[in-house]
Amino acid sequence: MRFSVLIVGFMLSAAMAVSERHGRADSVQNYRSTGTENSPSYPRPNWDVRYSSGSFDLKRFEWLKVAFVPEETAHKTLPPASISADQLRKTSKQAAPLFTVTLDQLRAIYWDPRAEKGSDLLQSTPRSGCGYAKSLMPMANSAPRPGAFIAWATSPGPILRAVEHFNRHRAVRLLWSEGSTDKELVLAVNQCEYASFIANLRRFAGQRWKEIGHQLK
């Protein structure tokens, strides 16, 4: 077990070293999915999460890239009406989103407060390997609050595949409406990044958080 932890720590350190050499404060997730010339370009920060269940024709634990963007950006990147997840994964440079959720469509967010607290603690624990996730937290004086949540179908990079076996994930459930249709999504988020993801969801919801934020049971 100790040997396995040392291997994971070495791989995470190597990923962060490459990221720092490129002058970025990206998470390990951001580095492993955006490192090649032919990779799609995603807004930052972003998160690599796994699809647990919901309203989409995706396999369980399929990988998604998610981010929060200004609403005007979301309107420019709406996915074609008829495009499969396989087609989306093959898209280069200008990746078409799998779905887009604007704030007025959002109906409920379910999250785990204990997992959020534990994730926040891990970020501040030097030997946890989670310190990088602090760079994903929203800044107090950052750009205006995002107006949309977007997800893309993606594929794991080599570092993600190597360390995924050792990662723990925590659930987030989203409910929203598209016209007369109700949509649901349950995501599995890396424990290291759970606190940052919830913090950005809370910022996205703004004053509506008190209305739509609920604890998972």
The string over 78-99, giving b where at least 16 C-beta atoms fall within 10 Å of a residue's C-beta and e elsewhere, is ebeeeeebeebbeeeeebebbb
Closest CA to 129 of 21, 29, 22, 24: 29
Tell me the C-alpha distance between 144 and 69, whole Å: 10
Q: What is the pLDDT of residue 100?
A: 95
Mean residue pLDDT across the chain: 78
**Which one is predicted more confidently, 16 or 115?**
115
Specify the number of domains making up the chain: 1
Q: What is the pLDDT of residue 73?
A: 64
Structural domain span for residue 83: 2-35+42-215
**Ranges of H-type helices in the chain:** 2-21, 28-33, 71-76, 85-90, 113-123, 158-163, 191-205, 209-212
Q: Is the pLDDT of residue 44 over 60?
A: yes
Segment 122-136, tens digit of pLDDT: 999 988 889 999 999
Classify 51 as helix, strand or coil: strand
Question: Contact 50/187 with Cβ under 8 angstroms?
Answer: yes
In the beta sheet, which residues pair with residue 184?
A: 175
